[in-house]
Amino acid sequence: MKLTAVAVLSFAQSIALGAPSVPVLYDDVELQWTVQAFPTGPFIHLNGTIEQVHAQILKINPSFDKAYPPMYLPDTEEVNFEGKRTECGRPLGFADKRYIVKGIDYLRRLPFEVPKLPPGSCGRVSCSWDSAIKWCNHNRHVQHLKSMKTLADGAEHLVANCNKYPFVPIETSARINAPHGTMVDRVSGQVWHEGGWSVIVGVEHC
């Protein structure tokens, strides 16, 4: 896997200190999800963001949402991001908060197993309307979490602490689905967990 010079230095710092001294954005890896398209069917592997995987499942089983009605996942991992190191406004630009919140909702309610994340990499877990939620592993080992709710909690922490209301220029108003001249609540930031991983929200093309 190819890393930038900044990422290599930050990776070394994260190993030594538990959290890097600057916001880290490694090269992306495409996440692989373990899912069950039918209640009695086999588990299969699908790649992409959670929105892309959901769309793929609906092609396999158009009745998936009826078989698995929306429900919020139970707490299987107690993680509190209050007081965790948080950097706002980087490493990504500000994204439309509305679509970050929709991504958080996906992570909270779809019954998918959390993908495994290789060391020194980031995976895009959610993205719509150029508004992304990413998960980065700063460890030397593969990272696995018990529940996607943990990632949703990290993104929600950033929504609560790293938002602003910038003017929307005309050249971007159509792309982010907002009328020209409106004020759009936007968010960008990164929060670190002492387990050697972080959550990022911000703008990325998707």
Show pLDDT as tens, one digit a residue, over the chain (206 residues).
444 433 433 434 333 334 444 455 577 899 999 998 998 889 999 999 999 999 999 999 999 988 776 555 555 556 778 888 899 998 999 999 999 999 999 998 887 888 999 999 999 999 999 999 999 999 999 998 888 889 999 999 999 999 875 554 444 444 555 554 455 688 999 999 988 999 999 999 98
Which among 191, 190, 188, 192 has a CA at the least distance from the CA of 203? 188
What pTM was computed for the model? 0.79
How many angstroms separate the CA atoms of 7 and 25, rounded? 7
- Tell me if residue 121 falls in helix, strand or coil: strand
Which candidate, 136, 191, 139, places its Cα nearest to that of 18? Answer: 139
Q: How far apart are CA 77 and CA 203, in angstroms?
A: 28
List all residues 6 or more positions away from 170 whose beta carbon is below 8 Å from its beta carbon: 180
pLDDT, residue 129, reads 92
Instruction: Give the number of C-alpha atoms closer than 13 A to the C-alpha of residue 38, restricted to the C-beta side.
Output: 6
- The residue extents of the domains of the chain are 28-203
pLDDT of residue 4: 41
CA distance 52 to 124: 11
What pLDDT sits at residue 39?
A: 85
pLDDT given at position 82: 83
Residue 105 and residue 128 in contact, taking contact as beta carbons nearer than 8 Å: no
Indicate the residue type of 48.
G
